[in-house]
Structure 1
Amino acid sequence: MEFEHVTFDLPHGSFHALQGGDPHGRPTLVLHGFPDHPPTAKPFLAELGRRGRRVVAPWLRGYAPSPTAGPFDMAALTGDVLALIDRWSPGRAVELIGHDWGGAITYDVCVTAPERIERAVTLAFPHPLTFLSQPRLAQLRRSWYMGLFQLPGSGWIASARDLALIDHLWRQWSPGLSLDPALQAELHETLRASMPAPLRYYRGLLRPGMLGAMRRLSQPIAVPLLQLHGADDGCILPQQVDDRHRFAGPHALEVVPDVGHFLHIEAPEAIAERIAAWGRVASFPPASIKG
């Protein structure tokens, strides 16, 4: 299945995206995480298309060829997504799928503008308040890179001369995944053109704007939401606490065996089918955007 490279002129600049799938299907927006970009997920995007989705997957703010200038607070990232929805799917709510940082943005979009989201799926990222409430030693060991990225000059770790740490993170986070060399080279090219902007997501965690996001996320999420998490995730542990109070609408959590952090890249057909099955069981009617 072919995907075309398209652009959207949004308030923050010209955002690039892959677009394809069923031209008459359910509009589905897929948000990537760190350190990633849409082309690595092409097999997953194609599987969504085969299941009746019209798919668009943007390079997020901070990832070339989309704008690499900040700010990188959650309100700004959420604003980009809402502006893209308004441009791409005016008058119709979308299915929103987010991995890693794209998952964090997905939660915030759901509480900021629930009328724009028909249903949502997060991959490899618990509800942010649930994640923060689990300061287990095993998770702290996995989150060491977040502290490193706070240090001045840490951009050298992913400089044009050295992407070894980025490759190490991929191997550590998804131990069973061997990324195709051509896809890895394409990802390296994007990260070389983008750094240090992707690291600024993590620096934004300690800024005042994140407090506003935490206040928004204290509201229960009414949008129907499915959480998928790899059992072998070396980046973020599957949650161990009951956080059903954070969801006011239909909700499910599934821990997927034999996959790691990049579960949709490791098992694109299986993850796409879990998402489709969730949609069939939930049977939510299409929603219209009001206002």
Structure 2
Amino acid sequence: MEFEHVTFDLPHGTFHALQGGDADGQPTIFLHGFPDHPPTAKAFLAELGHRGRYVVAPWLRGYAPSPTAGPFDFAALTSDVLALIDRWSPGRPVELIGHDWGALITYDACVTAPERIERAVTLAIPHPLTFMGRMTSPAQLRRSWYMGLFQLPGSGWIATARDFSLIDHLWRQWSPGFSLEPALQKELHEHLLASMPAPLKFYRAMLRPGMFDATRRMSQPIKVPLLQLHGANDGCILPAQVDDRHRFAAQRTNEVVPNLGHFLHIEAPEAIAKRIAAWARLASLPQR
């Protein structure tokens, strides 16, 4: 299945995206995470297309060729996604799928504009407030060391040094036993080189005052049906181990997928797309 490179003129600038799938199907937006971009997920996007979805996958703010200028707080990042929804699917709510930072934006979009989202899927990230609670865990703190590193002014150079050895290390650590195809890895390196240090500024924005506004906003229960998928072998973010059902006012399904790591949709594109499609069919049925 072919995906074309398209652009959208949004308030923050010209955003680039991959687009393809079933043109008559469910409009679906996929949001990538760090350190990633849409091309690595082409196989997953194609599997979504085979399952009746028309997909657009933008390069997020901070990731070239989309605008690399900030700010990078949640309100700004979410505003890009809502503007894209208005531009691309003005007459129909979308299915929103987000991985890593894309998942965090997905949660925020669900509480900010639930009427524009038919249902949502988050990959590898618990609810943001649940995740913040996990940051007191020594096991999670060990996995999150890179967040502290990225606060340093020279961390953009560190991330790109020795042909992105740090970035490649994170991929190996976060998805044990998985390796990107060399061509995809090379393309990712090129795009990250054109983007740095903007992707790291997402983490710096977490310590800015705007984060308090996002925390208050995300304390509202999510009113959009939502599927959470997490790889059992995730070396970056531990699956949620607390009961956080009170954060969801609509149907919520939480699944830990065996034998997969942080980039679960890239490791097993067919299996993850199949899970999403099966859940979506059930979520569309009237609730008793």
- TM-score under structure 2 length normalisation: 0.98
In the alignment, structure 2 segments of 5+ residues that lack a partner are none
**C-alpha displacement at 1:162, in angstroms?**
3.6
**C-alpha displacement at 1:283, in angstroms?**
1.5
- Report SS of the residue matched to 2:119: strand
Match of 2:52 in 1: 52
Match of 2:233 in 1: 232
**C-alpha displacement at 1:159, in angstroms?**
2.9
- Report SS of the residue matched to 1:133: helix
Residue deviations 1:199-245 (CA, integer Å, cap 9, x gap): 00000000011111100000000100000000000000011001000
Matching of residue 208 in structure 1 with residue 209 in structure 2: yes
Equivalent-residue separation in structure 2 for 1:161 and 1:282 (angstroms)? 46
Matching of residue 143 in structure 1 with residue 129 in structure 2: no
Match of 1:289 in 2: none
Match of 1:43 in 2: 43
Question: Is the contact between residue 93 and residue 116 of structure 1 (CA under 8 Å) also seen in structure 2?
Answer: yes
- Report SS of the residue matched to 1:159: helix
Equivalent-residue separation in structure 1 for 2:12 and 2:281 (angstroms)? 36
Which letter maps to 1:204? A
Match of 1:80 in 2: 80
Question: Is the contact between residue 160 and residue 166 of structure 2 (CA under 8 Å) also seen in structure 1?
Answer: no
Matching of residue 264 in structure 1 with residue 265 in structure 2: yes
Equivalent-residue separation in structure 2 for 1:254 and 1:34 (angstroms)? 22
Match of 2:92 in 1: 92
**C-alpha displacement at 1:165, in angstroms?**
0.1
Matching of residue 121 in structure 1 with residue 109 in structure 2: no
Residue deviations 1:100-134 (CA, integer Å, cap 9, x gap): 00000000000000000000000000000000112
Which letter maps to 2:63? Y
**C-alpha displacement at 1:160, in angstroms?**
6.5
Q: Percent identity?
A: 82
Equivalent-residue separation in structure 2 for 1:44 and 1:14 (angstroms)? 25
Match of 1:252 in 2: 253
Equivalent-residue separation in structure 1 for 2:142 and 2:187 (angstroms)? 29
**C-alpha displacement at 1:284, in angstroms?**
5.2
Equivalent-residue separation in structure 1 for 2:100 and 2:206 (angstroms)? 14
Which letter maps to 1:273? K
Which letter maps to 2:257? V
Match of 1:220 in 2: 221
- TM-score under structure 1 length normalisation: 0.97
Number of aligned residue pairs: 285
Equivalent-residue separation in structure 2 for 1:10 and 1:189 (angstroms)? 24
Residue deviations 1:145-164 (CA, integer Å, cap 9, x gap): 00010112211112375411
Equivalent-residue separation in structure 2 for 1:176 and 1:127 (angstroms)? 27
**C-alpha displacement at 1:176, in angstroms?**
2.2
Equivalent-residue separation in structure 1 for 2:161 and 2:184 (angstroms)? 17
- Report SS of the residue matched to 1:77: helix
- Report SS of the residue matched to 2:110: helix
Which letter maps to 2:50? R
Residue deviations 1:70-89 (CA, integer Å, cap 9, x gap): 00000000000000000000
- Report SS of the residue matched to 1:105: helix
Equivalent-residue separation in structure 2 for 1:143 and 1:195 (angstroms)? 20
In the alignment, structure 1 segments of 5+ residues that lack a partner are 286-291
Question: Is the contact between residue 74 and residue 214 of structure 2 (CA under 8 Å) also seen in structure 1?
Answer: yes
Which letter maps to 1:222? K
Question: Is the contact between residue 122 and residue 228 of structure 1 (CA under 8 Å) also seen in structure 2?
Answer: yes
